Amino acid sequence: MAYGVLVVAVILATVSRLRFPIIINLVHSALGSRQVFWRRIFLNSCMLAAIVMPLFMVDPDPDLRVAMVAVDICAVPILSLGNLQIPAALVRVILAILRLKPKGYDGHGETTNLVPSLQIFYGMVLAQGLLYVVAAMVEFLFSSITRRSLVRHGGFTGQWGVESVDLYYEYAFSKYMKGGLFAPERISLSDFAIDSLNSDLSKNQLYGVWMMHIFLQRHPTREQLLEKLNTSAQTMARLISMLDWTSRDEHPTIRLYAAKVLAELAKSLRVVIVPGAMQLVSTLLDTDGKPERGHPLLDADDDQDPFVDTTVKQEKRQDATGHHQGKTQETLGDTDRLLETPNRSTRTNAQTSILRCWWKISAYWSIPKEQPLTDNDLLPALGMSIVYNLVGCDQNNLLEIDRVTDLIPKITGFTSFRSAIMNSESQQKVLLKSSLKVLQRLTRIEGEIGITLRYKISKHPFLFRNLAKILGDSSSNQELRKLVAGILRNLAIDRDTRQEIGQMQMLITMLMKAFLDSSRSFSSNVDCLLPKVAGQALVMLSSENPHNCFVMLKEPDFINKLKNMILIHDDKYIYVAVSLLRNMCLHAQPELTESDLKELSHTLGEVLERIMDAEGAELEILIGLSSQICKLIPEEFSQELEHGQIKRRFIKRLVDTLNANMNPSSHCPGIRRVVLEQSIYMMEYNSHYANCFNEYQMMDALSIVELMPSRAENYMVFLGDTGFMECNTPLSALADRAKELMGRQWLQGINSAN
pLDDT for residue 107 is more than 50: yes
What φ, ψ does residue 715 adopt, rounded to 5°?
-115, 150
Whole-number pLDDT of residue 26: 60
Out of 7-11, 352-356, 661-665, 690-694, least confident range: 352-356
Report the mean per-residue pLDDT for the chain: 79
Residue 103 to residues 106, 107, 115, 122, 189, Cα–Cα distance (Å): 8, 10, 9, 13, 55
CA distance 686 to 690: 8
Q: Which residues contact 303 (CB under 8 A, 6 or more apart)?
A: none
Whole-number pLDDT of residue 221: 84
CA distance 556 to 559: 9
246, 255 contact by CB (below 8 A) = yes
Determine the length of the chain.
754
570, 605 contact by CB (below 8 A) = no
Whole-number pLDDT of residue 150: 79
Out of 130-139, 254-263, 375-384, 495-504, least confident range: 130-139
pLDDT more than 70, % of the chain: 72
Name the residue with higher pLDDT: 724 or 368.
724
Query: Which of 530, 522, 494, 521 is CA-nearest to residue 723?
Result: 494
Average pLDDT score over residue span 195-217: 87
Q: How confident is the model at residue 114 (pLDDT cuts 50, 70, 90)?
A: confident
CA distance 246 to 249: 8
CA distance 675 to 683: 12
Average pLDDT score over residue span 420-441: 84
Query: Which of 16, 17, 4 is CA-nearest to residue 53?
Result: 4
CA distance 266 to 91: 55
pLDDT more than 90, % of the chain: 35
Residue 590 to residues 254, 280, 584, 722, Cα–Cα distance (Å): 64, 55, 10, 33
Average pLDDT score over residue span 659-687: 91
CA distance 743 to 421: 71
Average pLDDT score over residue span 131-137: 81
Q: Which residues contact 659 (CB under 8 A, 6 or more apart)?
A: 701, 704
Whole-number pLDDT of residue 22: 58
Whole-number pLDDT of residue 223: 85
Whole-number pLDDT of residue 536: 95
pLDDT for residue 679 is more than 90: yes
718 bridge partner residues = 723
What φ, ψ does residue 544 adopt, rounded to 5°?
55, 35
354 bridge partner residues = none
Residue 496 to residues 500, 502, 503, 544, 549, Cα–Cα distance (Å): 6, 10, 11, 11, 15
Tell me the pLDDT tens digit for each residue of 238-253. Answer: 999 888 887 655 466 8
Out of 365-369, 620-624, 689-693, least confident range: 365-369
Average pLDDT score over residue span 293-299: 55
391: left (phi over 0), alpha (psi -120 to 50) or beta: alpha
User: What letter represents residue 715's amino acid?
Assistant: Y
Whole-number pLDDT of residue 684: 92
pLDDT for residue 311 is more than 70: no
User: What is the torsional sign of CA 356, 358, 364, 369?
Assistant: negative
Tell me the pLDDT tens digit for each residue of 472-503. Answer: 887 778 899 999 999 999 999 999 999 999 99
CA distance 52 to 39: 20
pLDDT for residue 86 is more than 60: yes
Residue 189: burial class (beta carbons within 10 Å; 0-12, 13-18, 19+):
buried
Out of 192-196, 213-217, 287-291, 314-318, least confident range: 314-318
pLDDT for residue 307 is more than 50: no
- 481-499 b/e (C-beta count within 10 Å ≥ 16 → b): bbbbbbbbbbbbbbeebbe
Q: Which residues contact 488 (CB under 8 A, 6 or more apart)?
A: 467, 501, 507, 511, 537, 540, 541
Q: How confident is the model at residue 612 (pLDDT cuts 50, 70, 90)?
A: very high
**pTM tops 0.85, yes or no:** no
CA distance 7 to 46: 8
Out of 414-428, 479-493, 674-688, least confident range: 414-428
Angle between helices 21-31 and 35-52 (to 10 degrees): 100
